[in-house]
Amino acid sequence: MTVAPAARINALPGAREQLLEATSQLMREGDVIDISLAELSVRSGLNSALVKYYFGNKAGLLKALLDRDWQAIVTSVDALVHKEDWDAETKMRRHISKVVDTFFAVPYLNPLTLRMVRESSESEARRIADCYLAPMYRAYESMIGEGVRQGLFRAIDPQLFYFTVTGAVDRFFAARLVLKHCFDQDTLTERHRDRYREHVIDIIMAGILAR
C-alpha cells in the first residue's frame, strides 16, 4: 500500500474507530497482544499510514485501545454503583455478570493492561492506575461497604475481592488453549460464556453473602 496524502487521510470518517475495532478483533481471535500493522491494514481495509496519523505509532494505538475498553468499563461500573434503587446484592450480581461479558468481548484486556503498565513511563503507568484501576477498586469498596451496612454481605477485603473476581473470570478466557488440549473444546462459545457466568456468580455470591 502507498502512503496517502495527509489531507485525504484526515477526511476518512470513522477510520480511527475502525482501526481500534480491527485491532481489538485481531487480539481477540489470535489470543495475542502482538499484532502487526500489516495484519491490521488487511483486516481494517485501511492504509497503515493511518496508524501513524491517528496514534503516532503502535504504542499509541495500544494506548488508545486500552483507553477505549477501560473507559467503557469504568463508566458502566460507575453507573451501577450509583443505582439508588438497587441493593448491594443486585448490584454485585449484575457487576459480575458484566465482568464475564467484558472478558468474553475483550479477553486481551488484562494482559494488555499489565503490559502497558510494565512498558510505560512511571507517569503513564500512574495514569492507567489512577484512571482505570483505582476507580474499580473504589467501586468494590463502595458496593461491599453498602452490602455490609445492609446486612447482606460479610465484611471482606475489597482489594483482595477485586483480585478474586477478575482473576476467576480472566483465567477462564485466557485459557482457550488449555480448553482445546485438555477438554477438546476448540472455541469459546457464547454457551460457555453463559455457563461460566452462572457458575461464577453462584460461587462468588455464596462466598460473600451473609448467612
Interface with a copy of itself includes 97 (CB under 8 A)?
Answer: no
Nearest distance, CB of residue 117 and a copy of itself, angstroms:
5
Binding window for a copy of itself (CB under 8 A); candidates: 20-28, 63-71, 79-87, 153-161: 153-161
> What is the C-alpha separation between 77 and 71, in angstroms, rounded?
10
**8 Å CB contact between 137 and 158:** yes
Binding window for a copy of itself (CB under 8 A); candidates: 39-47, 59-67, 86-94, 158-166: 158-166
Q: Which residues of 133-157 are buried (b: 16+ CB within 10 A; e: fewer)?
A: eebbeebbbbbbebbbeeebbeeee
Interface with a copy of itself includes 161 (CB under 8 A)?
Answer: yes
Considering only residues 8-27, where is the footprint of a copy of itself by CB under 8 A?
A: none
Cell of 52: 501513524
How many residues contact a copy of itself, by CB under 8 A? Answer: 48
Residues 6+ apart with CB under 8 A from 93: 201, 205
The nearer residue to a copy of itself, 143 or 204, going by C-beta atoms, is: 204
Interface with a copy of itself includes 186 (CB under 8 A)?
Answer: no
> What is the C-alpha separation between 123 and 127, in angstroms, rounded?
6
Binding window for a copy of itself (CB under 8 A); candidates: 9-17, 66-74, 76-84, 172-180: 172-180
Nearest distance, CB of residue 186 and a copy of itself, angstroms:
13
> What is the C-alpha separation between 140 and 134, in angstroms, rounded?
10
CA atoms within 13 A on the CB side of 43: 18
Nearest distance, CB of residue 104 and a copy of itself, angstroms:
14
Considering only residues 121-140, where is the footprint of a copy of itself by CB under 8 A?
A: 125-126, 128-129, 133-134, 137
Nearest distance, CB of residue 5 and a copy of itself, angstroms:
41
Nearest distance, CB of residue 204 and a copy of itself, angstroms:
6
Question: How many helices, marked H, and strands, marked E, lie in the chain?
Answer: 12, 0
Cell of 65: 485501545
- Nearest CA to 48 out of 36, 32, 64 is that of 36
List interacting residues with a copy of itself (CB under 8 A): 31, 110, 113-114, 117-118, 125-126, 128-129, 133-134, 137, 154, 156-157, 159-161, 163-172, 174-175, 177-178, 181-183, 195-196, 199-200, 202-208, 211
